A and B are shown apart, each in its own frame.
Chain A
Amino acid sequence: MKIKKIVVVVFLYLFNYNYSYSIEPEIFVQSTVNRASKILSENISKEKKMDELRLIAKETVDIRGIGFYTLGSVRKTLNDDQKKRYAILFEEYFLKSFSSRLAEYTNPEIDVQSKEILSENYTIVNSLLKGTAERPEVKIDWRIYTKNPENPLIRDLIIEGLSLARTQKEEFSSILNSNDNDINALFKTLEEFSKN
């Protein structure tokens, strides 16, 4: 009888556990945006802001996925060591670029407006960055990878219809094309960016 009770309790716990940790993409985006906004509105140094934004990005963005997507077909030609090196370099580059871009904004207000479920794995969350006296409002769509509903991840930002992941892919492709598809040239460029 006691074992049965324990089993029931464990089952209920697990059920509730699973249920409570499934995050709706739009709530995920709004909460991520709110966290970033809070940091950006704090009276702390730009470096401190960038550090905190990096932590948010590490938790909420599929950096590895974006990195390999950005490489395009070249990734198929890399050996394991090159893949490892690329993953490290890309993460450094991405976090610096991401936090540096965001740190320029002070207290951005983003409102999540709607969502469109594309498939089991992808939902697009539509949001609006409110305009200020100096810039017009901006439509931002978020491509959320929802394969694991407990841990949704950002895979792309589409600003006024323009995909950042795609832009980055074409940028990397241009660097590779100018260097006979030599991955070491890309490694060098990524290293230089992160160092500066």
Chain B
Amino acid sequence: MVERLEHEVEAGTVPADGEAVQARLIEILAEVAATARAPIDLSGEPAVLLMVGVNGTGKTTTIGKIAWHLSKEFGLSVVLAAGDTYRAAAAEQLAEWADRAGAELVRAEEGADPGAVAFDAVEAARARGADVVIVDTAGRLHTQTNLMEELSKVRRVIAKQMPGAPHETLLSIDATTGQNGLRQAKIFAEAAEVDGVVLTKLDGTAKGGIVLAIADELGIPVKLIGTGETLEDLRPFDPTDFANALLAPS
């Protein structure tokens, strides 16, 4: 990116003064951030969303927020699948969000097969004519091959219940994550065909610059950003705002 800017300045297409260069840099950053941009696909009946990510990046919270927006703002009926059967009280946490968002919850006991929970949820949603199913999964480090394999299996199981599903797989990335974020995205994309990133915890001082590398190198766009702990704190990603914020002094 810097090279490209240098070229343009040398070639004279961008005037060599500070402000113009910064403005052009923001444009370039925004352009990269906008790579492969596409809205979240809700055309499926029901549309199946799968949420994946490393531990503690905010998967469950994001699902709560998405469910709330879909049900309260778009009037869609939402089913949540408590696919995190590993962490203690993860299902209770999702139940609380389901309650707040007015969504239905499909869950199983701790230690149950996450694929089975996802399968049941999609089945239930189809039977009831629900509009959207959101499947939660346990947080996992991308270095754990067996857990990544489990994720691929959850995908396959969902596809068995409903061909073409999941229609949208979202990877949550914590804005404070450093260089490792790129590895996370790469390996999660290999295991679960990630369609988009949800950049969480942007309300801190972290700017989440790693998503630029993810968009640039892997062609996976950011779709949503999380900016707080309440249900409303979820927004569509705006590349220009993001680029501006990256360069703003903190």
Do these two chains really belong together in a complex?
Answer: no
Q: B interface vs A, CB < 8 Å?
A: none
